[in-house]
A = this chain, B = another copy of it.
Amino acid sequence: MTRTDHDVLGIGNAIVDVIGHADDAFLERRGLVKGTMRIVGAADADLLYSEMGPGVEMSGGSVANTVAGVASLGGRAAYIGRVRDDLLGRVFRHDITAARVTYRVPAAKEGPGTARCLILVTPDAQRTMNTYLGACVELGPEDLDRSLIAGAAVTYLEGYLFDPPKAKAALREAAEIAHAEKRKVSLSLSDPFCVERHRADFRDLLERHIDVLFANEIEICSLYETADFEAAARAVRGHCEIAVLTRSAKGSLIVTEEGTHEIAPAPVPQVVDTTGAGDLYASGFLHGFTRGRPLDVCGRLGSLAAAEIIGHVGARPEASLKELASKAGLA
């Protein structure tokens, strides 16, 4: 295999989060399903913003969070995603660049503004997300930087990219470029409703192009249309080299052709906000994976990174994950 420029290249929706607190009654009155993501138009986003409590703005985007986590672990990370040349776009670019992630996509000079996601955190620390896709809607194959993909050990694709209409073609093309260079391709299923909307496309992409799959319990069950997690875990075996199945407080399960590894969750003194838990689990796992660590160590790195992120508000690490990994004997 030729030399790599990056360990992990992420391709996803470039989003700035607006995180606020809400109670269950607020979600109910607006028909929001706790723990999920829905796409909203500009008018709905404005209305919800006017109704929600005070917010904190910070860069987000599922796979963008993952690559920021990889960089925090000391890995070489890069990102492809689309923003506008507006204030939120400048915030997104500043934050991902300051996190030492290579980000070269120029800001769009026209079209909808930079995407934002209104995140409502309930007292149980669960998050419910409302995404206005904005500038992400136009992401397509023309935004792919072929040399960046060719030079990355793993290209990591965001399942949410099935939502913007042209991005599906970009995902397929990115996977083809990566495999032509004998690189690995990874995918996150992102969200159960997202799986619901695009099940056939997801299964097709998985079986043709994916080496490492990330899914949580509900997502993998939705993918195989079963309520039985064990059945879903059996179903995914053989469809990809490694399936990483996360189960919140129950830890995670790593499924390969050869067998399974059960990973315990890392301890968290107080769960404050679960936003980004899956994203950061992927950071830890992929960092270990690109360093050639055994799969159980990859899983423990995932648990460690997820534990850091759920201890505070927001989906980008506040502490150096490299130092945390080192303290835990996983560096």
Contact = CB atoms under 8 A, between A and B. Distances in A.
Interface of A: 20-21, 49-50, 52-59, 68, 86-88, 91, 94-96, 98-99, 312-314, 316, 318
Q: Which 4 A-B residue pairs are closest in the complex by CB-CB distance?
A: A57-B57, A54-B95, A56-B58, A87-B87
* Residue among A50, A59, A88, A91 with max Cβ neighbours from chain B (10 Å): A91
Given A21-B318, A318-B21, A91 B55 contact: yes
Query: Chain A binding site: helix, strand, loop or mixed by DSSP?
Result: mixed
A98 B58 contact: no
Contacts of A88: 87
Contact of A91 (B52, B57, B318): B57
A20 B97 CA distance: 14
14 contacts: A20-B98, A50-B94, A53-B99, A54-B94, A54-B98, A54-B99, A55-B95, A55-B98, A56-B56, A56-B57, A56-B58, A57-B58, A312-B312, A312-B313
Contact of A59 (B54, B94, B313): B54
Contacts of A52: 98
A100 to B, nearest CB: 9
Contacts of A59: 54
Nearest to A94: B49
A155 to B, nearest CB: 23
Contacts of A98: 20, 52-55
A316 B88 CA distance: 21
Contact of A314 (B20, B56, B316): B56
Contacts of A96: 54
A55 B313 contact: no
A68 B59 CA distance: 24
A324 to B, nearest CB: 14
Contacts of A87: 86-88
A150 to B, nearest CB: 28
A276 to B, nearest CB: 13
Contacts of A57: 56-58, 91
A93 B53 CA distance: 12
B94 A55 contact: yes
Contacts of A312: 312-313
A212 to B, nearest CB: 26
A14 to B, nearest CB: 14
A251 to B, nearest CB: 26
Contacts of A21: 318
A206 B209 CA distance: 72
